[in-house]
Amino acid sequence: MLNETASKPGNGLRITEIFHSLQGESRTVGIPTVFIRLTGCPLRCQYCDTAYAFEGGEITSLEQILGQVAKYQCNYVTVTGGEPLAQPNCLPLLKQLCDAGYQVSLETSGALAIENVDKRVSVVLDIKTPGSNEVSKNRFENVSHLKLNDQIKFVICDRKDYEWSKAKVDQFDLKSRVTEILFSPSHEQLQAAQLADWIL
């Protein structure tokens, strides 16, 4: 659970880590990126690989965050978590990053509203499949706020998840809403080659 002071205006954000690496997924895969990992998440997906970000972290001002990002001299910034939007000050952070000229993406679970996210941000919306054990947390109202520059991700655990995801693509006409729809195999649950065969 987030420390309450983390979400009070003027107190910055609770940050787990800020680091420079190659993007491992989404449309900018392979591109050097600065990652800002916010602490806290209201979901508990069974395959989560960042449970260390559920708690802890340090309160960091927006000025300090932008200062740390600038040191890397990198054009791409990804704000991730945890669930970044669980902290209200994530919204002004995204705006300030865009104002500073960065190409910004936001990785969000889709459980929280995205309509107030700066329109310059590429939202990577992770729609939770049944295999995540958090499918009930999906906020499908978010679909109407997606832009063509946004991306949708489904983490696939098994064939049931695959069929469910395809059905959601059709149900919400997702192909007309965003330019990329990503199907990603759940690590240690589904072989990438198997998912590729299903897609083909």
CA distance 200 to 194: 10
Q: Could you tell me the pTM of the whole model?
A: 0.91
93: CATH: 3.20.20.70
Q: Are 62 and 93 in contact (CB under 8 A)?
A: yes
Is the pLDDT confidence value at 121 over 80? yes
Q: Could you tell me the residue range of the domain that residue 54 belongs to?
A: 4-199
State the total domains in the chain.
1
pLDDT at 29: 86
Is the pLDDT confidence value at 23 over 80? yes
φ, ψ at 38 (rounded to 5°):
-85, 150
DSSP state, residue 193: H
